[in-house]
Structure 1
Amino acid sequence: MSSAPFRLLLVEDELADALLFQDMLSEQDQDITVHHVQNGQEALAYLCEPGHPPRPHLIVLDLNMPVMNGHEFLTRIKALPAVRSIPVLVLSTSEHPGDIQRAYEGQVSGYVVKPGSYPEYMHVLETIRAYWRGLVRLPSLEEVVQGRAGF
């Protein structure tokens, strides 16, 4: 596992779900910083903010949100060269095949259905953390900025 700080952008409209996610994740790894926003519009504003906030290593996205839902957010972010290479993981209650298909067509890196119990949720978050923090290699910010990240 990497010991370097890991930045995650959580796009989730339900405050209780966001707090649970953050609490469970912090139990597993203190080096993960979670920035929470409540919808796709807030996420876009954060990612495109002047002064460039720290680029997240991963975006965890709910689909069903007010203002701008997850599908709309995916369409917008994947059209922006500066941020389109950030991996997006959908974490949704929806098991609808249409939502899953549309998410992958929108270039998500993965789709996970929110589990119904605390132990299952802990297992899901541990798996997500182990995969994104330990197994995969992500492009560095410098590679993305210099255009070497394979756009």
Structure 2
Amino acid sequence: MNEFRFLHLERRRIDQALPDILEEALAAGKRVVVQAGSEERVEALNERLWTYADESFLPHGSARDGEPQAQPVYLTAGDDNPNGAALRVLLSGVPAAAFVKAGYERVALLFDGRDEEAVAEARREWIAVKAAGAAPSYWREGEDGGWARVR
């Protein structure tokens, strides 16, 4: 059984918090798949990851770039895992329960706590993930941008 985390953002937007999550995973030697709800969102994230910091580089790609197996971070709107990722990050709008038994070391659902619809959706996904047999954990963004486990 994989670890399943719900990450509740309170200060930053998803596109601001995601690079930190990805950098931490890459530093730990993990490959990552990030799943967005649409191809348009994938393209927006692709652009954001190229420009989020002048002093940093986050190796990533999407289907548009080819050779997905060579990408340490792969961006997709589908449920594929062409780079053999150990970590899957789901963004608001992506159903989570299908990944409970998908073989990832960790699955994380990242959602914006300032968006009532995103919070309601995360609650529905929490229930679905538990019903699928997982014991999810809930993490809240701290003032310093780190994560604190709430339950």
- TM-score where L is the length of structure 2: 0.45
Does 1 or 2 have the higher relative contact order (CA < 8 Å, sep 6+)? Answer: 2
Decide which structure has greater strand share.
Answer: 2
